[in-house]
């Protein structure tokens, strides 16, 4: 079921990453700060419970040889968002979401452009295909590609298509140009963001977590 109305501030919207077969992989709950029905601004604090994914045999994904990384069977498990907190801007029109990444002490670290294929909204969340290729933008607005080798392997494995990767790279180039120009979202907006300490973490529905074992390969 699709959603017709924006999410209310302080509600939870779930960012779901779909796989080529239509199954749902990782799920990240976001505390809604603002939403206009198209563009969502959400908060994912460190320690929030998520659904993670990894190789079914228990290996860390990075330990799987590159050519097998997107071919091995996956398992899904209860996990937690670790090491950083992220403020995320997710537009249904864009093949990306932009994350403001904060250290545990609240210091702004960098922007992370997660390149994604938008699939639309449901009643309780928004669905995307992770594009594998990403962009990292430092506070001084220098930028670099991330995981170019993995993106190429993902195409060979059928995880994403060559056409999708071309569009994802074009989206990355668009955001890189904004960074170089110091334009929004890389103009300093929200780099001083501080959440209300009284906010509870966003949470996934109990029925979504039911039957999943905790833990992840590290």
Whether the upstream peptide bond of residue 218 has omega within 30° of 0, thus cis, is no
The torsion defined by the Cα of 62, 135, 121 and 159, in degrees rounded to 10, comes to -40
pTM score, whole prediction: 0.94
Residue 202: inside a domain:
no
Rounded-to-integer distance, Cα 21 and Cα 153, Å: 18
Residue 82 domain-assigned?
yes
pLDDT confidence of residue 3: 63
Would residue 163 count as lying in a domain? yes
Residue 218 lies in a domain: no
**What are 11-38's pLDDT values in tens digits?**
999 999 998 778 889 999 999 999 999 9
**Is 59 within a domain?**
yes
For 70-122, the pLDDT digits (tens) are 999 989 999 999 999 999 999 999 999 999 999 999 999 999 999 999 999 99
CATH number at residue 101: 2.40.380.10
Cα 159 from Cα 132, distance rounded (Å): 9
The pLDDT score that the predictor gives to residue 2 is: 60
As for how many domains the chain has, the answer is 1
Domain that holds residue 94: 12-195
- Token pair for 176: 């890189």
CA dist., res. 46 & res. 202, Å (int): 11
Buried-exposed string 138-174: b where 16+ CB fall within 10 A, e elsewhere: eeebebebbeeebbebbbebebbeeebbeebbebbee
Say how far apart CA 74 and CA 134 lie, in whole Å: 21
Average pLDDT over residues 144-150: 97
Return the closest-CA partner of residue 29 out of 19, 10, 15, 47.
15
Residue 73 belongs to some domain of the structure: yes
């Amino acid at each position: 079921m699709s959603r017709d109305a924006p999410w209310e501030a302080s509600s939870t919207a779930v960012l779901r990453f779909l796989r080529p077969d239509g199954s749902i992989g990782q799920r990240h709950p976001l505390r809604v700060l603002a939403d206009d029905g198209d563009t969502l601004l959400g908060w994912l604090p460190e320690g929030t419970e998520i659904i993670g994914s990894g190789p079914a045999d228990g290996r860390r994904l990075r330990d799987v040889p590159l050519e097998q990384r997107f071919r091995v069977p996956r398992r899904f498990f209860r996990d937690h968002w670790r090491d950083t907190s992220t403020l995320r801007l997710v537009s249904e029109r864009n093949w990306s979401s932009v994350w403001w990444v904060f250290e545990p002490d609240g210091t702004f670290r960098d922007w992370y452009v997660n390149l994604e294929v938008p699939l639309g909204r449901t009643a309780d969340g928004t669905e995307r295909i992770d594009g594998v290729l990403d962009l990292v933008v430092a506070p001084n607005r220098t930028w670099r590609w991330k995981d170019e080798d993995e993106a190429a392997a993902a195409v060979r494995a059928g995880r994403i298509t060559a056409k999708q990767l071309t569009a994802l790279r074009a989206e990355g180039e668009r955001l890189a140009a904004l960074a170089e120009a110091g334009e929004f979202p890389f103009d300093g907006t929200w780099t001083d963001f501080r959440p209300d300490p009284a906010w509870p973490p966003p949470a996934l529905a109990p029925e979504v977590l039911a039957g999943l074992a905790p833990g992840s390969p590290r």
